[in-house]
Chains A and B, each alone.
Chain A
Amino acid sequence: AQSVTQLGSHVSVSEGALVLLRCNYSSSVPPYLFWYVQYPNQGLQLLLKYTTGATLVKGINGFEAEFKKSETSFHLTKPSAHMSDAAEYFCAVSTGRRALTFGSGTRLQVQP
């Protein structure tokens, strides 16, 4: 079985500050890992994904995440927050069964 834990249901940062959203996963097989973002009244948009290879993954809008197998983590970071980053972020894991298992989400608030 696979599972995802996102620490912190709400994170608040100031505009220009570092964004760090935490994700830990549990999987009995090598996982595929994803970060999605959801804006109000919209579906999910992919930010980035890790399948194999380089453990530091760069995504859209300046986000990146590092796969750390020893820590079973896949934290999402962005050096400088922008007001438009305010949204809900979901970490997800997929294995051979293809269905995505999502974390409970982290709502990011960006203060001016």
Chain B
Amino acid sequence: KAGVTQTPRYLIKTRGQQVTLSCSPISGHRSVSWYQQTPGQGLQFLFEYFSETQRNKGNFPGRFSGRQFSNSRSEMNVSTLELGDSALYLCASSTGEAKNIQYFGAGTRLSVL
């Protein structure tokens, strides 16, 4: 069974640009969550999508948005990039219950110059 796939693995952008990251969950998983990992703030929850609906949201500004498609694949978009958005963005998939394991992808490392 294929794992969680995130593309691209690395991205370099400049301030003010926007970026879209992609995540393909494990087959059969309907929940996709996104996390931001930085040395200063650690791992922080961005949002969760389940069956194409945002079900849960963390404390991030509106520049961070996402969506989920009917095949459960998800995209995350960051508009008007800031230097502080440089981070490892991790996607996790699960069947959707709190007690269930979230399986993580390898992440997309975003560098904002």
B43 touches A32 (CB 8 A): no
**Per-residue contact bits, chain B 40-59, to A (CB 8 Å; 1 contact, 0 not):** 00110100100000011010
B104 and A43 form a contact (CB under 8 A): yes
Which applies to chain A's interface (DSSP): helix, strand, loop or mixed? Answer: loop
B68 to chain A, nearest CB (A): 15
Contact of B42 with A102 in the complex, beta carbons under 8 Å: yes
Docked complex: B86-100 residues within 8 A CB-CB of A: 90, 92, 96-99
Looking at the assembled complex, report how far the CB atom of B76 sits from the nearest CB atom of chain A, in whole angstroms: 15
Docked complex Cα distance between A95 and B35 (Å): 17
Which residues of B have CB within 8 Å of A101?
A: 45
- Is B101 touching A46 in the complex (CB atoms < 8 A)? yes
The reply to whether the CB of B31 lies closer than 8 angstroms to some CB of chain A is yes
In the complex, the chain B residue whose C-beta lies closest to that of A43 is: B104
| Interface footprint category on A | 20 to 34
The answer on a CB contact under 8 Å between A99 and B4 is: no
Asked whether A77 is an interface residue with its Cβ less than 8 Å from the other chain, the reply is no
Q: Which residues of B contact A (CB under 8 A)?
A: 4, 6, 31, 33, 35, 42-43, 45, 48, 55-56, 58, 90, 92, 96-99, 101-107
Please give 14 more A-B residue pairs, beta carbons under 8 A apart, in addition to A43-B90, A99-B45: A43-B106, A43-B107, A49-B101, A94-B99, A97-B56, A98-B33, A98-B97, A98-B98, A99-B33, A99-B58, A100-B33, A100-B35, A102-B42, A102-B43
